[in-house]
Structure 1
């Protein structure tokens, strides 16, 4: 390095990093880049040998102070990323090129946006982030990886990464946004009459089940709640995907190390837990992560994953609820279509050129999709804004 006081280290475990120093780098509204969440995944062996996610944390020190970092993982496949590049891997294979292993900078199994190159707030972002980006590329070159991929980056970070030679990718999600609502009814008044009627009907149906539904935080969360969430999670993954990314111990570790971030919505009947959601909250954002139920109760998913979280956000004056990837049913209930971003560096010149052409066309299609959704949004102010841009 040109600055003798600056040092880059790459470690395979956060056990070798001071927790407070790491957390001093993390965004005010991002719980997934925090030491506790990432360390919980390590300790529960959700990441590490045998998982397809091999940690390679890049650390930049200046005068022995951690100034910037990136949670990077050597990936042997594309599972658990939610920015889909299986077509790229297939194209590489057909061209006789190896797409795996690759390097990914992300919160594992988590499609939530935030800054991926973590930098102390009291330093200049680009000057501090650039050595980390250079170290990521050097690591890929040194280990013969096909590329470096930063997933769900912030919009300002995307522009910086583009200046570093990364290709920008545009995708989208559906987010609920707080327009200064006084209560849930005020939110409903922002929607089309047909949607208000639909939501009230759905909530009444759930009320008629007679379940007790609680929102639990912090010290109110007990082992029995975590046990139930694990059962719900396995029921959902067993029905939909067959294999769970998280382990039983992952939920215990997250509850232990991230308890002040946890928000659970739990439904019970006659003293038995029947459904629930596992969510994290930090700053102005609430993130829905995992849902499950012992049986199919029509409408209960919407109540626990959307409506009660919206009520929680309004009461606490949170600005955004991110309820995960995909799901047009969110849009139909007043969630707004918002862009999400990732950035990609490809080592092979031909592979890079082909993916760059692909991304150019995809961006146009994605912009059109975002405008198309927002142009017919159930939320009047969103429709109006899309009309003005159009």
Structure 2
């Protein structure tokens, strides 16, 4: 049970709480994915609602009328849009006769980026608030007949706390570009071997040879037309693959472009007067998050230029420290994106399934260090700063 002085309230919609109250907990430097406007856009656009398998179940802690802490949470009826990939766990549960869905997920829908999952008011005891939220999650999940609790993409500090609290910790890899102090794009290229530098210059130069120009639009430059185009690119990519599933609605893009323009970016590639490809990114002064891309015409190396090279150059110009281009993609390694651990934590209520999953995680962890070493070898980045 939570501390006697604290009261738990579960919100069926993020709009049940004023934006100012939620965002005060998140703090001014929190990534956009945990901000009230982002979560509102997810829910009110119909992208993350009960009908799409994301039933809002936000946990809030109150002391009297004062909001003390909160966690964005959803009852999930499938595993799409999480990018932690527990489909095999659901299959194992079915073989054991365990109902895996619904499960309780603490995190932001369709947003595989590390961000605080336990939002605590300034001046409060952070550890006590986290304990209270975890206890509230357990009690609430059991009441809703959820099979388990999954905290997706918490900060490393939160992951340490959850592991110490008895949850099973999982580490997986993403590939992030990191800025050790580049002044120019040539500084970045200098870290590669001569052969690799030639390859990257050739791939990036292909756009000019093809008559393709790129530009980044952000803030007040973004219009309703850009939002429609962003959804069209996103949907085109999803529909290209058998496993793809269109989960975001056009209204989601319209909402975030309207309510969070300072954090939204569109990279557009044009062939003549026609926009043929683009990438939807989310930006803060310190980080760039690549989210979705798409194209209406196929050109060699266009994906790399739109999604990677152009934005790396932009990050260097803007002084951003990290570019997170999203989940997966071993092709990023040879282009200077470094293996980076991301975290999740899991509490499975069925004891037999819990043992099986913890055994799986132990074996998975044993393969992680060799995978990181191999990725670093493939990246082949020279130490920075370069000698001489």
Specify if TM > 0.5: yes
Q: Is the 8 A contact 1:82 1:325 kept in 2?
A: yes
Distance 1:49 1:2, change over 3 A: closer
Q: CA deviation at 1:283?
A: 4.0
Aligned to 1:41: 42
Shift of 1:2: 6.7
Q: How many residues align?
A: 383
Q: Could you tell me how far 1:46 is from its partner in structure 2?
A: 0.4
Take 2:118 and 2:196, find their aligned partners in 1: how far apart are those partners?
40
Moved over 3 A (4+): 1-5
- 2:47 and 2:247 in contact (8 A); partners too: yes
User: Structure 1 residue 136: deviation in Å?
Assistant: 0.5
Gaps in structure 2 of 5+ consecutive residues: none
Which residue pairs with 2:278 in the alignment?
A: 276
Q: TM-score, normalised by structure 1?
A: 0.94
Which residue number corresponds to residue 105 of structure 2? 104
User: How many Å separate the matches in 2 of 1:320 and 1:30?
Assistant: 13
**Cα RMSD after superposing both structures:** 1.7
Comparing 184-193 with 318-327, greater Cα deviation is found at 184-193
- Tell me, yes or no, if the aligned pair for 2:7 and 2:63 is still in contact at 8 Å: yes
Q: Do the aligned partners of residues 2 and 152 (structure 1) sit closer, same or farther apart at CA in structure 2, a change above 3 Å counting?
A: closer
Cα distance in 2, alignment partners of residues 21 and 180 from structure 1 = 37
Contact kept in structure 2, 1:29 and 1:284, CA below 8 Å: no
| Correspondences of 1:1-390 after superposition (within 5 Å) | 5-26=5-26, 28-240=29-241, 241-381=243-383
- Tell whether the 8 Å contact from 1:334 to 1:379 is kept in structure 2 after alignment: yes
1:271 is displaced (CA, Å) by 2.3
Distance of 1:121 and 1:310 partners within structure 2: 35
Shift, 1:375, TM fit: 3.4
User: 1:177, CA displacement in angstroms?
Assistant: 0.2
Structure 1 residue 74: Cα displacement: 0.5
Q: What secondary structure does 2:177 align onto?
A: strand
Task: Give me the whole-angstrom Cα distance separating, in 2, the residues matched to 1:104 and 1:319.
Answer: 29
Q: CA offsets per residue over residues 136-195 of structure 1, 9 Å max, x none? A: 111111122110001111111111001222100111010000010001111111122222
SS where residue 153 of structure 1 aligns? coil
Match of 1:388 in 2: none
Give TM-score scaled by structure 2 length. Answer: 0.95
